[in-house]
Amino acid sequence: MNTKYAQLVSIVIIVVTLGAPSAWAGDINLKEARILIAKEPQSRTETLAARMLQEEVQKRTGLTWPISSESDGRGPAIALVTLATKELAGRKVPSAPGLKREGYRICVEQGAGPVVWVIGADARGVLFGAGRLLRLLDWGPSRASLAESIDSTTSPAYPIRGHQLGYRARANSYDAWNAAAYEQYIRDLVLFGTNCIENIPFEDDQPSPHMPVARHEMNVLLSRICDRYDLDYWVWTPVVFDLKDQAKRAAEIERHVSLYKACPRLDAVFVPGGDPGANPPELLLPFLKDIGERLMAQHPAARVWLSLQWFNRAQIEEVFTYLDKNQPDWLGGLVAGPSSPPIPQTRQRLATKYKLRHYPDITHTVRCQYPVPWWDPAFALTLGRECPNPRPVFYASVHNRLAPETDGFLTYSDGIHDDLNKVIWSARGWDPQADVRDVLKDYGRVYFRPDLAEAGADGILALEKNWEGSLAQNGAVEGTLALWQALEAKAPQLKDNWRWQLCLLRSTYDAYVRRRLLYETHLEAEANAALARAQKIGAEDAMRDAQQILQRATTEPAAPELRGRIVELCETLFKSIGLQTSVKKYQASGAERGAILDYVDYPMNNRWWLEDEFAKVRAMSSEQARLKRLEEIRTWENPGSGSFYDNVGHIAKSPHVVRGKAESTMSHDPEPTHWWWDDGFSRKRLSWQVSMDWPIAVTYERIDPNADYVIRSTGYGEALTRINGQRVTPTLYSKGIGEIKEFPVPREAVQSGQIVVTWDQPEESHLNWRQQSRISEIWLLKK
């Protein structure tokens, strides 16, 4: 890269201070500790909790804490008990008032042989208490300690706290796991209070080259893992065929029955109303009754759950009428997922005997339930829909806004790229007031190292901040990279830790995209300057010069060292956890399924579109026509003095677009849509690949009251335009992508000194959202 442009990159020096390698005064030295459990535990889960704690401490410290029901009274002990146990190893079990189901108390009893008590309200409480203890430990090679002042009593706020970990080809990593990898990941989630796991046993028939175990075997293995850890086992089973087909219906019921019989544990069967599936309630509800009765015959406590996804208003009312009338016992409750009715309305309409579960999409960034608000298109074009996406502050807010109307959540996830988001949801599902940074410190302490907890938490928060606002103007992206590079230098032992690798990849990728954006944006400006000389040197020579400038993006690329590091990290993540970041190289199931390596070089300027336009210009019959078109191209975003241009969905190029309130993250204010064409390799103009339907308004202040103006716009479909509240008639009205519409501005609007453009939303409820009208660009052109 030319050194002139390298100077655009900020240099940030980060100093990382690591914690002390030994216990502080006031800490209990647990190097010689033993784990105490009852001689006759109330549940095998208590024994498993002891083994989990023993194994996880050994992995981190090299220490092996013996498990026993006896104490010598001298060395420190960690006692894992339920409230039902009154005495352990000659000691009275402390009280734990106020504990609720799955809750626990952690406290310290001082003495010659201090005891760290983990007292569970039940067996699950012991398991979750052991996980919390692990998060509290200060540890290192051959050492472990705990603050002697600890005394914490806590119970979960919501009874359903889980995540979907479907073993299917569409996942970007789960399909590469064996049973041991699944158990470790499920155990990792237990540390933060997860109490249920959802599998996908049937849907998605495409083969995966990564699966080490046949799918029907893994369905049962996951049930066994959940049973060992006393976690609820859910399955997601959409009906993707027409239930009028009696042969297919009977075969599907038989497939369900076979699964029910094979699974040692099964707690819930979730059937979405749509996404996928398109059966109306009059067909779906009798089918649910049939599988529900068979489910309860095999697993008496299990129930069927239904979402109202893709149902219209009449069908939604039909479901509620059926439930009110029949009060079926086979139904456990409703699930609120993407494209479902609003959660508050659903809870209000649903009978109190039924539960309501949130099904939030934590795995996607665009074209999804919770897109990144006003995401810079540079990220949307490269990182795409399914990338490493830690969004702790955002998802903590989403959880707390919607959770009070629910009985909890079970998230939609398709890979480990959203791992941090799972932890945030689990932590807030346990305690809605949990401080986000404290949760991140726990994450760093237990998954990285205690001495990296503070800096790691801030580094993760910085990754979320990287995605706020204009990328070109966000110099903090370079600071985030410097922070993670400094942490990497301080902790080379973590090079094989996949969570660590994810953070390094994101910080590197973000900085690489920014450097390319700055560089290639400047190249396009240079190319437009070359086109400005067309009147003097001719159209052909001007286009040749412009193309040579644009080609420097590949012949003299920006930041090749960062690109090389991205390639390395993608390779290490494939080896460490099975993350598939490329369709060609790692056999990802699809381009939208985490294949961020395939789009790392997607143009940050319009060079592909310009190349195609130059070919069209060369085919024109006259030099005059060629020169006219080149002038239109070079002034596309710079229409001249007194005129204005907005790319309405681009955070950095929409100064006149009225956005929502500061809290737009949590409202239904209009948001941009980033389109996916040609498998992500569209050659269309970048401004056409992001749009809105529709902005609140576009406003222009202090315009010339004596001038004539015209509104020009591009987008797709209709544009029912109003200027200062008055519907205006177009003089040009083309409806294709990138085609022009023009509306003369009424004289009275011009004379007011302010122009406010709004739109009436066309009635297009019959159309798929991808076919509905939208706007991409708008100009106010002074004649």
Q: What's the CA angle centered on 259, arms 256 and 265, to 5 degrees?
A: 125
CA distance 91 to 44: 22
Q: Which of 406, 409, 407, 405 is nearest to 424 (CA)?
A: 409
CA distance 203 to 201: 6
pLDDT for residue 662:
38
Does the pLDDT at position 695 exceed 70? yes
Tell me the pLDDT tens digit for each residue of 300-330: 999 999 999 999 999 999 999 999 999 999 9
Q: What is the CA radius of gyration of the chain?
A: 30
- Split at pLDDT 50, 70, 90, the class of 502 is very high
* Segment (H or E) for 783: none
> Quick check: helix, strand or coil at residue 712?
strand
Please state which of the ranges 99-113, 396-410, 475-489 shows the lowest mean pLDDT.
99-113
Does the pLDDT at position 5 exceed 60? no
Does the pLDDT at position 4 exceed 70? no
- Letter for the amino acid at 772? Q
Tell me the pLDDT tens digit for each residue of 648-676: 999 999 999 998 753 333 345 788 999 99
Phi, psi of 361 (to 5 degrees): -85, 105
Tell me the pLDDT tens digit for each residue of 239-291: 999 999 999 999 999 999 999 999 999 999 999 999 999 999 999 999 999 99
* Segment (H or E) for 611: helix 607-618
Q: Partners of 775 in the beta sheet?
A: 692, 715
Q: How far apart are the first and last CA of the chain?
A: 41
- Split at pLDDT 50, 70, 90, the class of 9 is very low
Q: Partners of 79 in the beta sheet?
A: 36, 117
pLDDT for residue 665:
38
Tell me the pLDDT tens digit for each residue of 23-33: 444 799 999 99
Measured CA distances, 96 to 90, 120, 121, 131 (Å): 18, 9, 8, 18
- Split at pLDDT 50, 70, 90, the class of 2 is very low
pLDDT for residue 12:
38
pLDDT for residue 22:
41
Average pLDDT over residues 177-181: 98
- Split at pLDDT 50, 70, 90, the class of 112 is confident
Strands (E) across 562-625 are located at: none
**Both tokens of residue 129?**
């208490």
Strand order of the sheet with strand 104-109? 67-68, 34-36, 77-82, 115-120, 104-109, 151-154
* Segment (H or E) for 366: none
pLDDT for residue 48:
97
Q: What is the DSSP string of 204-256?
A: -----TT-SS-HHHHHHHHHHHHHHTT-EEEEE----S-TT-HHHHHHHHHHH
Question: Which residue in the block uniquely carries the two structure tokens 């241009």?
Answer: 645
pLDDT for residue 667:
42
Phi, psi of 684 (to 5 degrees): -70, 160
CA distance 679 to 597: 14
Q: Which of 664, 609, 662, 659 is nearest to 634 (CA)?
A: 609
Tell me the pLDDT tens digit for each residue of 374-412: 999 999 999 999 999 999 999 999 999 999 999 999 999
Q: Which residues contact 330 (CB under 8 A, 6 or more apart)?
A: 288, 289, 292, 293, 295, 296, 303, 304
Mean of all residue pLDDT scores within the chain: 94
Does the pLDDT at position 113 exceed 80? yes
Quote helix, strand, coil % in the chain, to nearest 5: 40, 15, 40
- Split at pLDDT 50, 70, 90, the class of 569 is very high
Does the pLDDT at position 124 exceed 50? yes
Average pLDDT over residues 744-757: 94
> Quick check: helix, strand or coil at residue 573?
helix
pLDDT for residue 226:
98
